Structure 1
Amino acid sequence: MSLFNKIFSSIGIGSAKVDTKLYQEKFEAGHEVTGIVEVIGGNTEQKIDEIYLSLLTTYVKESNDRKFNQQATIEKIRIVESFTIGVDERKEIPFSLKLPYDTPITMGKTKVWIQTGLDIKNALDPSDKDYIGIAPSPIISSILNAVYDLGFSLRKVDCEVAPYKFRSRLPFIQEFEFVPTNGAFRGKLDEVELVFFQKSSDTVEVIMEVDRRARGLAGLFSEALEMDESIIRFTVTSRDIPNIKQQLSNTIHSYC
């Protein structure tokens, strides 16, 4: 290799390319993403120090009264040791990535993607970005369906920076915001917010915030001080699914 080609390779000209091919595009948290990473050599032989997969999303963060999107890494793994890719050579590397249980569901504004990157020393590292869908688990689906059946409509789903008391390994939580549009809670509540912490395939911890509608001067005073909000924390297992609608109704009624 001439010196001229070595210099061009080190700044990313003629460098290798990467393309990730997934066997499917929709998953549940806790399941595995499988596929193949295809690496295509460029105009010069190059050493690839590593190939890594990052599972990413964004969340809303506020600073100085301004909101902006912050990127968060949910998971990152290395899938191969260092190797050399020749000129125009093709390599296919199979991989498997288990989605953590706290991977957010792709509803509302929430997007999740896998970014594949090559680590090439002293080069502009190429990468590939693939969006995937994350469906709610059967337990979370049953909770969401029960809330719908109680007369609530989904107003917003978003990932926001996690309050300190709810902080886990990730810097954000995913909030599901519902408003009562019919049924027993219409006129009694302003909204209900749900946050899910999936612990295993059959256990979900739920944080529910019930925002009562202000009534009279006392109610307006409470609303101004945010005293009209109640936060409830409880656990739902797969055994609770048949009775989850009634359990949610009783819990919400107790804070109306």
Structure 2
Amino acid sequence: MLFKKLLSSIGIGAATVDTKLAKAQYVQGETVEGIVDIRGGSIEQHIDEIYLALVTTYLREIDDKKHEEKAVLARYKVSGSLTIGPNETKTIPFQFALPYDVPVTLGSSRVWLQTGLDIKMALDPQDRDHLAIEPHPLVAAFLEAARQLGFRLHHVQCEQAPRYWQRRLPFVQEFEFKPASGPFKGCLDELEAIFFLSENSVEVLLEIDRKARGLSGLFAEALDMDETFVRFTYGTGDIPALPQLLADAIQKYS
């Protein structure tokens, strides 16, 4: 029995966990529902806690090199202490609301749920389930407005943010657009957007990268003086006018 307990404590013949989601695709802020299935190993085990961690990755610059870091967006307690017998199965339902700042899974951005059993003196069994995160309707409206103005979504990436941009998390998700057609083709090199989303509104930080013109333009570009930051906020009622609002903001600073 002692030998079995030792094997169980190092993860051999121990309890296993499997999280099953009602669906794999969600919108920012949406409620996630599912169940956690636990199957006992070869010996009775006491579990202190069952938890779900919502995890993503972002790029952090260290000594001029970019490194991928993990970030826990939220942690959810599914169950308190319980005992699982040999080969016993338990099913525990759960639900939680995704945070509004969960990254959209476009480009290189990935989001997953990591399930763990907190067992004293044991390697925690873990289970990883990837989620597809769609933009919130307010963010989707901006992407559509940009498309109508001739911008093409070129790149999406989570990167470490300067302190003055940071909110709850150490990073922001950047959406980079290129003018492929329309009134801003030839005027801008690119347009970058960062969204600070809440339930009923979104604050947008725009970085407008003007196209260099002549020697003075090239000089400004070399010193990053060609970039202008613009902030504006909009809500659901502003969506019909959003293409014009975006066009006016870009026109003013380009």
Compute the TM-score of the two structures, normalised by the length of structure 2: 0.98
Residue 8 of structure 1 and its aligned partner are, at CA, apart by: 1.4
Shift of 1:3: 1.4
- The DSSP-based 3-state class of the residue aligned with 1:9 is helix
- The equivalent residue for 2:170 is 171
Partner of 1:143: 142
The match for 1:28 is 27
Task: Return the alpha-carbon distance in structure 2 between the equivalents of residues 250 and 4 of structure 1.
Answer: 72
- The one-letter code of the counterpart of 2:71 is A
For residue 165 of structure 1, give the secondary structure of its aligned residue in structure 2: coil
Of 239, 242, 245, 1:244 maps to 242
| Equivalent pair of 2:188/2:210 in contact (CA under 8 Å) | yes
CA distance in 2, matches of 1:229, 1:94: 49
- 2:102 corresponds in structure 1 to 103
- 3-state DSSP of counterpart to 2:253: coil
Aligned residue for 1:218, secondary structure, equals helix
Q: Give the aligned partner of residue 57 of structure 1.
A: 56
Q: Once the 2 structures are TM-superposed, how far is the Cα of residue 236 of structure 1 from its aligned partner?
A: 1.0
Segments of 4+ moved more than 4 angstroms: none
The one-letter code matched in structure 2 to 1:245 is P
Identity level (%): 52
For residue 132 of structure 1, report the CA deviation from its aligned partner: 0.7
Q: Distance in 2 between matches of 1:181 and 1:29?
A: 28
- Could you tell me how far apart the structure 2 residues matched to 1:142 and 1:149 are? 11
Q: CA deviation at 1:15?
A: 0.5
CA-CA distance at 1:53 after TM superposition: 0.3
SS at match of 1:144: helix
Distance 2:5 2:24 in 1: 39
For residues 39-58 of structure 1, the aligned pairs below 5 Å read 39-58=38-57
CA distance in 1, matches of 2:130, 2:183: 39
CA RMSD of the aligned region, Å? 0.8
Q: State how far apart, in whole Å, the 1-side matches of 2:8 and 2:182 are.
A: 66
Q: How many correspondences in the alignment?
A: 254
The correspondence for 2:211, drawn from 213, 217, 220, is 213
2-structure distance, mates of 1:153, 1:9: 54
Q: TM-score, normalised by structure 1?
A: 0.98
Shift of the alpha carbon at 1:225?
1.1
Q: CA deviation at 1:39?
A: 0.2
